[in-house]
Amino acid sequence: MRQAGRYLPEYRVLREKLSFIEMCRRPDVAAEITLQPLARFDLDAAIIFADILLPLEGMGIGFHFAAGDGPVIERTVRAAADLTGVHVGDPRTDTPYVLEALRLVARELGGRVPLIGFAGAPFTLASYVVEGGHSRQFAEVKKLMFGEPATFKRLMDLLADTVIAHLLAQIEAGAQVLQLFDSWAGTLGPRDYERFAAPHSQKVLDAVSGRGVPVIHFAGGSVGMLAQVRAAGGDVVGLDWRIDLDRAWAELGEGVAVQGNLDPAVLLGPPDEVERHAADVLRRARRRPGHIFNLGHGVLPATSPDTVARLVEFVHDWNGEG
């Protein structure tokens, strides 16, 4: 069994009671939260603690987090007039705390494992901006997309340029891998994704590629449009759990790595079920170069840390059986 690394052996600042957004805005706290999993688990990378909505404030779109309701957008965009005053953000003045947290973590890690930076994809960010927060039907964003395509494109261009600026700044601050999260891409059909969302993701991915930093492109719910996701760009395509890994990789074709594929809810089950699902993912990958084992989305809050530890150990020790 491999031993977890010991980064920040004493938690220095998390004894304070801070809100989620306060934790994001404190570089020392964000750095400590980023490093905590590496102290507990034998992970192969770290991902900076932040939130995809943070760049919105610098664009003139305020938001806050409501208890039990998640993010609430304070200035929704549902017509051309709503874009007045909305502009491309500058990460150095808008979110300097994220960049400082990256620098702190990069110094602490010293290159022992890669540090991942990230941003939300333009369509996912637009979904929050237009809907006003979380949504089930995404009716408002689609209403704007279909009813006022010029306004929607203008919003998407502003978001894409802001995301590019933030990702490039993250590279300068020490991020060694980037991930573009398009969590709500699957709310679109293949043709609408190709028409309204993919060009803006491609703009972002093209702008940050070729800089010596691999880029992961995750589009949630994209089973029916993997070809379009691959065409939009990225060195690695993130997969959720709605398709078998080997089938997805065959559809994506040669020359691209894959990440993810394990349903996070599996970790709520008993150990033998967790191992059975993990082994299935590993068998389908066939030890092929370019496979990054991971969940198909984030860890669910009810997940036991002990279960995560057992999963990490199982994956590292897997011998092709089980």
Cα distances (Å, whole numbers) of residue 276 to 41, 263, 279, 321:
20, 12, 5, 10
CA atoms within 13 A on the CB side of 68: 0
SS3 225: helix
Phi-psi domain of 127 (left: phi exceeds 0; alpha: psi -120 through 50; beta: other): alpha
Active site residues: 2, 6, 15, 51, 128
- Distance (Å, whole) CA 165 – CA 168: 5
DSSP line for 262-277: E-GGGGGS-HHHHHHH
In 3D space, the residue among 213, 292, 217 whose CA is nearest the CA of residue 258 turns out to be 292
